[in-house]
Structures are given as structure tokens and as C-alpha cells.
Structure 1
Amino acid sequence: MRKNWKNKIIGLLILLVPFTFTACKENHNHEAETAAGIEYTCPMHPQIVRDKPGDCPVCGMTLVAKQTASTPATAISSDLNYLLQPANQTVVSNVKTTQPIQKQVQNEILLSGVVTYDTRQQSIIPARFGGRIEKLYVQFNYQLVRKGQKLYDIYSPELVTAQKELVYLLKNDPSNTSLINGAKQKLQLLGATSGQINQLIQSGQENYTFSVYSPYTGYVLDPAITAAPAPTAPATSSASGGDGMNSMGSGTPSTSGSMGVSGNSGPTTPSNGFAVREGMYVTTGQALLKVIDASQVWAQFNVASSQAKQLTKGTPITISFNQLPGQTVSAKVSLVEPVYEAQENFARVRASLPTQDKSTLIGQLITGKASYNTGTALWVPKESVLDLGTQSVAFLKVNGVFKPQSVQVGERANGMVEVLSGLSAKNVIAANAQFLVDSESFIRVAENNK
């Protein structure tokens, strides 16, 4: 009986030995982890941090080891192999493949712009002599005037003296044709018309108020106003411009006082729109009025520098009006002007537009479309190239497996991408590059030292 009791004690000790070693081992591992500074956190509640394994007191999930800042990072290799899983650097798959094609592709450029005045059709009417404005016959900006229409009456001592000289010669020395012709020429140089000179000869009496007539046909406005809407004009600019230009080419005077002046930053003008008013004195050479011929206007676009090289003088453009869907006008590029503005490089493209109908309004938003053929190059589907931000990658099939290949891309057109370098027409690549990249394969990489 005593012998059996001793055997039971020995057996129990033998059973406790493995548990003792296991507990010691776990204790040792925990002490090692504590010494290494490993912390544990809850994946769902990152505010829970413990220095030993356990369960989250909030949700009950098992705490996981937290990666510290001292954990060594994996650097990016230049061979792009970090994109692939598994770690044997190749992915065996039977995904769909394609080959680069050597060909020309027709591409389109979409241009956003606005209708603006042709600056070549703007003329300034200066004062040819000093004097006082007695009466203005134009009342507001963008009033339509015709060539030969009376603009204002002016009193000028210089002009009165010139008239008296001609009248005196005609009365006292009518046979002196050289002096008489000289007096007539002086009046003409001062701005007198042939009709005014003939009337002076017939009446023999000088006029103290002299009428000035418009030498141009167009819309009159104050010279301080810049009538050139920018391509980034707001959509409301076409509404303000429509009132003034609905009569373009029809001979009906405009009634808008602010048409086409998008974002005008010029000097403040009186209520009638002109800085020159009745009773004011003007000096010789002073710009009094501006006349804009709106029979020819510009379609003006701002284009990125990378696209501007495809547009040259004479390139056809199909222009559509945003407010008139379905209506298009064919035009050609007349000017490509490089511009540096607001710390950006771009090009200002202009095309001439006729205004025989009422659909072309100053300030109207328009969209242009230009087509061109690219040069012969290698083209691949856009899905077969993966954009990593700093570089582009295609997956090259070699001996039945795929490996990443860095490529340089150019233009994009019709779902295709131009490959400048990195591939040849004989290469076989994956048709869908994104399919070969496992989102779980991206691991934390070492940051570059700045």
C-alpha cells in the first residue's frame, strides 16, 4: 500500500515537468519581448496599448504586436521587383497578353475658350486740335456708328484761325491759287472734310463750332476700356455680351453699356460711359474715342504647352458654342502665342470667326476640337501600363512568367498609350498591368533622406 502511494507521487512529478519547462519558456519569451520594447495594440482600438499580449478590454479582440519606429524598413529596389508576390520575383499566370503596335494614331485636342474682339480691328480717334467739346452725339459705350457719322462738335481757336485765313485769301487774293491750296490743305490736315471746306468757300463765313465725323464703322467706346474677355471668362459674360452684339452685321444700334467687358479693370468712367464729356477741354493728340469693327472676331483658347506643339498656323478647328448645342463653325488657327502668366507656361491660340449671323457673341463660351495624326511610334492599350507616379511600368512576359519593365510613355489617344522607350514590337506584355499587382504586396519602404 505504501509502495503504491510512492509510485503515484513519482508519476505526478513526471507529468508536471513539461508544464514547468513550457512556463519557463513562455516567461523567457515574454521577458525578451519586454526587453525589446515590443508593445501590443488592438487593431480596432489603437488607443489601447499594452506591454504584453492579451485581449482588448473594449471589444475583446486579441492584441497584436505594434510596429515601432526602430523596426528596420525595406528599401525600394530599382528593378521594380517589390511590386510582385510571392518573393521569388516572378508571377506565373495565364493572363491575357498583347504586343506593342507600330503605327500612327489620330488624336484630338479639346480646347476651351471664349469669343473676343480682334485687336487688329480697333481704331483710336484722337483730337487733331485742341479745344472745347460743345456737343457729343454718341451717348454710351458700344453704340454702333457708321463711317461719316457725326461724333461731336468742338470749338477750337486754332481751327477758327485756319478758316479765317482761307476766307481772307478767297476775298482779297482769289488769284493766288498756291496760298489758297495751302490754306485748304491745312484745314484737311486738321480733320476738315472736303464737304466742310466747300461749304466754307460757298458761305464765306467761318464756323466757331466744328463737327468731327467718324472715319470708321463699328462700335464706339471709351479708350480706357479693354474690350477683350479672357478665355476664363465666367459663363455670365455671354449673357451680358448678347445684348450688345445681337445686332452685329445687321445695322441695328446696340443698347448695352457693358457688353463684352469681362473683368474690366480700367479707370472709372461717367454714367454715359465716356471720360470725355460736353464742356470739357481736350488737347491735341488726346485719345477721345475708340471704334471696334466687330465684323471679324477671334475665337481665343488657352492651351497647355505640351499640346500647343501640335497646333500650327492653318490647323483646322471645329468650334461649337456652349449655349447652342449642335451648332458648329469651321475655322483655322491664325496665331499660336507662347505666354508666361501666373507662373505658368501655356499658349494662347486664336482663330478668326465671321459674324454674319447672330450666334457669335462677344464673351460667349466656346469649345474647339482639333485633330491631328501622330508620328509613327509604338502604341499599347492604356490598361497595359501601370502609372506609379514617378515612373510607368509594363509587365513583360519572359519564359512564361511576368516581370516588371520600366517604360517611358508619351501621348495618349483613343485608349492607347505611346511608348517612347522600354519596349519593342516583339515584346509580349500583360494586357492588364493592374491585375498583376497585389495590393497586399506593398510594404513599408524606407523614406528618402531629404
Structure 2
Amino acid sequence: MKRYLNILFLLLALFTAVACQSEQAHDHAEETTYTCPMHPQIVQDEPGDCPICGMDLVPMSAEGEAIEITDDLAFLLQPTNQTIVSNINTVKPEEKALPVAVEMEGIITYDDRRVYTVPTRVGGRIEKLYVDYNYQPVSKGQKLMEIYSPELVTAQNELLYLVQSAPEDEALIAGAKQKLRLLGATEAQISQLIRTGEASYTFAIYSPYNGYAIGLNTTAPVARPSQTSITSPNNAAGGMNGMGGGTTGNMADRSTAAPAPGESIQLREGMYVSTGQPLLRVVNPEQLWAEFNIPAGEVASIAKGAPVQVTFPQLPGEKLEAQVDFLQPFYEAGENFAKVRVYLPGEQKVARVGQLVEGAATYTTPPALWVPREAVLDIGTKAVAFKKEGGAFRPVAVTVGTIQGELVQVVEGLAQTDQIAANAQFLVDSESFVKVAE
């Protein structure tokens, strides 16, 4: 009996020990907390992932104590894409007014106000042409062509008849002379007509301007439907009005021989011209333009009268000093830009029409903050500077303006008292991790 009691007491003690161990294990399981090995400030009651780095949480040791997060340690515990700890030189934005030069590329063109059109005052046929090619020099009073015009022949005969039959009627004679003048005759031609007493069947047209002939087109004309001769039924039948019909067809051809708007002038000997038709254009190259295209954002900085230095890539060392005379915004092919026009000095021999040139327009900016170009990082969608706060650098978005040499203008994002990294490129790796706080 005693033996059985000993066995019973032994089983009871064993059961008590197992129950105590199970209760201790249960209490230990309820008290277990989990933390991140890299970020000990993260403490949770159940397993999971670290909200900062994504690592698996591990059980915290029983004897482990919570780590006190000081201000210095807080910088180290921030995500790597928010704060960077580094020993690098810093600079402060400097407020000043800086002279800036806008680099431009352009071309030499004519002054539109010095391009003249020489029209014909009377209809007729060109018998002799003295202007053969584009850019041929033309001087004032030079003979351009000789033209035959029945209207001029009739006006000459009227003046000769009055001079010979009614020399006392000065009013009629003066009227006949004025008619010839309106038809393009010069005083010398009228005097020669009265002196010789013979009408000239060809009249010379003289240039009223100095310059170069442009707008000539010596290629064969392409016939348009309006230029074909108009044949009447009488012409086709060869009847009584055959001559009149033929004349009508020729006159229709002459009246429609004028070039259509936008076409080059088909100037050649033997062609018929109508009254008022432009014969050629004469450009005076004494005053030339240099036209430059610049981005639309820079036109607000350049004012009329700003000095411009014009250089010639083909002629190193040649420079011209000029001023901005005209600014005009343009929109073409989906692009906004502005056209800057500069009048070149009249007494110079280096500029030629069609020549490519470069220009630098200078102006002084209003007082603004300027920092080195290396201190601003362009990450595509925005520009970033790294401002020093405490012992680390924090990226801040900045708005840049004018770039001049090694300096860049900061419009927004920085204050004059801020310290920023002198070189922002050291923070760039193969995958840009810069995260700007909104």
C-alpha cells in the first residue's frame, strides 16, 4: 500500500511540474514582442514586416531594453532617400544683380522698308531687257528695258500734232506732255521727241532706285488655264470676224499674263506686260537686318535698345556692335519662340544677305539669389538643391531662372541664409534616390 502511495505522489509532482512549465511558456508567449534589426524603434506585438525597410521582424530578447532615440540618432534612422549624412563643402545663395548675355543664332536679311517694286505704267511688249540675273547691281536712272506700247506711240503723235499745228495752245501742249509723263516718259524723252519731231516706237524704262535686282525668274513659264488663248467660234470658223477674233484671243492672253499672287516674275524679252504689273524688285542693301530666334521665356528679359554683339562664324575676329530694335513673339510648328531684330550699322562690309551670324544680347538682371550651377541638380521633372539641416542634407525643390556661366538664378525654394551643398552630384547613383518632400 505504501508503494502505491509513493507512486501516486510521484505522478502528482510530475503533473504539477508540467503544468507550471506550460503556464510559464504561455506567459512568455504572451509577453513576446517583435522589432526590426535595422530600426529598433519599430516594436510590435506580433510578427510582420518593418514599415521602413521591409525586413522581417524578429522577437525582442527578454533582457533587451528600448533604445532612446535622440535627435542625432533620428537623422541616422530616417530613410536613405530623405536625408544624407556627408562631409561636403557648403555655400550660401548670394543676392546680387548680374549682367547676363543671351546667346542667339540668326541670319542676315534685307530691310523690308528698302525693297522697292518697279511696275510698268503702260501695257506693251518687252523689246530689249537689260536686267539678266538676280542680284545684278542697279543704279538710279539706269535703263532696265525697252518696251513697245501702242498707247505710248499714240500719246507721242498727239503731242507732235499739237506742237506742229497749234503751237500757241500751251494748255493742250502741257496736257499732252503730262499724259506722257504719267505713262512713264521722262523729261529728257519728251524734249528729244519735240526736238526730233519723230515718235519713238520703243520707250526705255529706267530704275528709280539704287540697289540690286531681285525676284527675277528666268525659267520658262508654266502655262496656266487662264493663260491659254481664248478662241471664239468665229475664229474656229474663219469667218468675217476672224481677225477680230484673233486679236481678242491675243489680248486675253496678254491680260492674263501677269503672275499669280506668290509666283516669281517671269521676266524675259518678247513677253507682254499689262499696266501696273510689277517688273522686278530692287533692294537697297545699305541697311541690313540680323534676325535671331530665341526661346519665348527669354524675351521678357531683353528690352528694346539692349546692346548686341554680332559675330560671324566664317570670319573669326569680326564683330559688330548693334542694338535690339524689334521684338516679336512667334508660334510656328507647335513651338513658341520670339524673333529679335537688330539693325546693323550702315557703314560695314562684312555682313552679307543670307549669312549665318551669332549674337549676344546683354542686360542686367534685377537683384536675385544666385548659386553655383553644380549646387543644383536637374532630376528631369524638377530641380533640386540639398539644404543642410543639423548634421545632414535634405533635398528641396527649387525653381531656377537665368543661367549665366557657372551661376544659376534661384527664383523659389531657397533663402539667403540657407546652407546648401556646393556640389549636388555626389548624391546621384545609377538609380536616382532623391525624394523631395512635398
Q: Distance in 2 between matches of 1:355 and 1:140?
A: 25
1:31-42 pair list within 5 angstroms: none
2:152 to 152, 159, 166: 159
Q: Distance in 2 between matches of 1:109 and 1:151?
A: 45
Q: Distance in 1 between matches of 2:207 and 2:434?
A: 77
Residue of structure 2 equivalent to 1:370 = 361
Residue of structure 2 equivalent to 1:34 = none
- Superposed CA offset, 1:18-66 (max 9, x none): xxxxxxxxxxxxxxxxxxxxxxxxxxxxxxxxxxxxxxxxxxxxxxxxx
2:79 to 83, 87, 90: 87
Residue of structure 1 equivalent to 2:397 = 406
Q: 1:300 to 1:209 in 2, by over 3 A?
A: same
**1:352 matched to 2:336:** no
1:196 to 189, 192, 209: 189
| Offset at residue 364 of structure 1 (A) | 1.7
Alignment partner of 1:187: what SS? helix
Give ranges in structure 2 of 5+ residues lacking alignment. 1-53, 55-75, 219-261
Alignment partner of 2:266: what SS? coil
Letter in 1 for 2:423: N
For the Cα contact (< 8 Å) 1:222–1:275, is it kept in 2?
no
Q: Distance in 2 between matches of 1:439 and 1:86?
A: 21
Letter in 1 for 2:105: S
Q: 1:219 to 1:410 in 2, by over 3 A?
A: same
Q: Distance in 2 between matches of 1:443 and 1:110?
A: 32
Alignment partner of 1:367: what SS? strand
For the Cα contact (< 8 Å) 2:214–2:282, is it kept in 1?
yes
**1:305 matched to 2:302:** no
Moved more, 435-444 or 87-96: 435-444
2:120 to 114, 127, 134: 127
Alignment partner of 1:334: what SS? strand
**1:329 matched to 2:286:** no
Q: Distance in 2 between matches of 1:314 and 1:91?
A: 48
Q: Distance in 1 between matches of 2:427 and 2:131?
A: 73
Please, what TM-score do these two structures have when normalized by structure 1?
0.66
For the Cα contact (< 8 Å) 1:85–1:438, is it kept in 2?
no
Q: Distance in 2 between matches of 1:422 and 1:389?
A: 17
| Offset at residue 176 of structure 1 (A) | 1.6
Q: Distance in 2 between matches of 1:144 and 1:410?
A: 49
Letter in 2 for 1:367: E
Letter in 1 for 2:79: A
2:388 to 392, 397, 404: 397
**1:108 matched to 2:101:** yes
Q: 1:93 to 1:279 in 2, by over 3 A?
A: closer
Q: 1:442 to 1:90 in 2, by over 3 A?
A: closer
For the Cα contact (< 8 Å) 1:224–1:267, is it kept in 2?
no
Alignment partner of 1:326: what SS? coil
Q: Distance in 2 between matches of 1:440 and 1:221?
A: 59
Q: Distance in 2 between matches of 1:116 and 1:438?
A: 49
Q: 1:431 to 1:222 in 2, by over 3 A?
A: closer
- Superposed CA offset, 1:233-255 (max 9, x none): xxxxxxxxxxxxxxxxxxxxxxx
Q: 1:206 to 1:339 in 2, by over 3 A?
A: same
For the Cα contact (< 8 Å) 1:218–1:292, is it kept in 2?
yes
Q: Distance in 2 between matches of 1:384 and 1:356?
A: 46
For the Cα contact (< 8 Å) 1:114–1:299, is it kept in 2?
yes
Q: Distance in 2 between matches of 1:210 and 1:127?
A: 11
Letter in 2 for 1:108: A
Residue of structure 2 equivalent to 1:35 = none
Percent identical among aligned pairs is 52
For the Cα contact (< 8 Å) 1:223–1:287, is it kept in 2?
no
Residue of structure 2 equivalent to 1:294 = 285
When the two chains are superposed, the root-mean-square deviation of aligned CA atoms in Å is: 2.4
For the Cα contact (< 8 Å) 1:99–1:428, is it kept in 2?
yes
Q: 1:375 to 1:224 in 2, by over 3 A?
A: farther
Q: 1:440 to 1:194 in 2, by over 3 A?
A: closer
Q: 1:128 to 1:99 in 2, by over 3 A?
A: same
For the Cα contact (< 8 Å) 1:85–1:441, is it kept in 2?
no
| Offset at residue 267 of structure 1 (A) | 5.4
For the Cα contact (< 8 Å) 1:318–1:331, is it kept in 2?
yes
| Offset at residue 356 of structure 1 (A) | 4.1
1:318 to 309, 312, 319: 309
Letter in 2 for 1:374: T
For the Cα contact (< 8 Å) 2:134–2:216, is it kept in 1?
no
Give ranges in structure 1 of 5+ residues lacking alignment. 1-71, 73-83, 226-265, 269-273, 445-450
| Offset at residue 90 of structure 1 (A) | 3.1
Residue of structure 2 equivalent to 1:379 = 370
| Offset at residue 189 of structure 1 (A) | 1.1
Letter in 2 for 1:425: Q
For the Cα contact (< 8 Å) 1:124–1:223, is it kept in 2?
no
1:51-70 pair list within 5 angstroms: none
| Offset at residue 435 of structure 1 (A) | 2.0
Residue of structure 1 equivalent to 2:130 = 137
Q: Distance in 2 between matches of 1:441 and 1:147?
A: 70
Q: Distance in 1 between matches of 2:77 and 2:361?
A: 44
Moved more, 412-421 or 433-442: 433-442
Residue of structure 2 equivalent to 1:235 = none
For the Cα contact (< 8 Å) 2:370–2:407, is it kept in 1?
yes
**1:429 matched to 2:420:** yes
Larger Rg belongs to: 2
**1:183 matched to 2:176:** yes
Q: Distance in 2 between matches of 1:441 and 1:319?
A: 42
1:170 to 145, 163, 169: 163
